[in-house]
Amino acid sequence: MQITLSTDDIDLLVNHKGYGVKPADNVRTLIIGNESGIGNAINVEEFLKYLAGQDYIQKPTIKALPLRSPFIQSVSRITRALEGKQGNWFSPKATCDVWDKIINGDSLSESGHLIDIRPLPRPDESGWFFTNVDRKQYESGFRKFHSSDSVVQSLIVERLKALRAEVATFQNLEYIVAPGAAPMKLKFLKHLFPSIEFEAAEIRTSRKSMTYFKSKLDLNDKEVKVLVTPFFDWRIIGYEGLAEAYKILKK
């Protein structure tokens, strides 16, 4: 289903505050994703109705159904582990004593929040639904955070402005975790925090070797640990890799 985004639609999307229904002061862990899906909405148009506050049957939310996405399941695991909740959070289903909590609770638990860098929602990244935004320019622009296309450049500028303002409200932030698309995530974090510097960390698990990027920030007179990791999927970061991310953050 194709859609032509209105000015109001674009305003809703670039100012979408992500997922985490809680006061900003409760946020301890910030997860940085690539782009929003459409939750349980039927299509992008229905998702826009949700953002506009209109009622419809299938309100899109990442906690309405059992969590089937490996990414969201991994978010559920690490947010609870960082809160100090007891359990085998980084075990496969067969040996996981907290599996029900992982898939049936709020994936962001009590102190997590998820924001997405790119503002246009898609059920998956293989499709394109927006008649008045050029896909190649959009995807390229958000890799570089600059575009010669005026529409895309406006999306980049306004999205960065909105996310910078939102992150500033998280007065008690302790961790920032950015899974996957490392080049984009590193550039994004540099835009948010111009003084940030990263150190590469080579991680070895029983399956593979991976590069993580870690840093620390002083925000609101508190130390915030920042970690860019491989994508949260058992086939990519794996359970061991997720456990290693946890260990780095808790050091």
Q: What is the tens place of the pLDDT at every residue in 189-230?
A: 999 999 999 999 999 999 999 999 999 999 989 999 999 999
233-234-236 Cα angle (round to 5)? 65
Report the distance separating Cα 120 and Cα 189, nearest Å.
19
List, for residues 155-173, the tens digit of each pLDDT value. Answer: 999 999 999 999 999 999 9
241 is written with which tokens?
A: 């890799």
Q: How far is CA 140 from the centre of its chain?
A: 19
Q: Which residues contact 147 (CB under 8 A, 6 or more apart)?
A: 137, 138, 140, 141, 153, 156
Q: For residue range 27-72, what is the model confidence (pLDDT) as tens digits? A: 999 999 999 988 778 889 989 988 888 544 444 454 457 788 899 9
Pairing of strands 175-179, 29-35: parallel
User: What would the pLDDT profile of 95-124 be if each residue is shown by its tens digit?
Assistant: 999 999 999 988 899 999 999 999 999 988
Whether pTM exceeds 0.85? yes
Residue type, 73: Q
Q: Domains of the chain, with CATH numbers?
A: 7-250 (3.40.470)
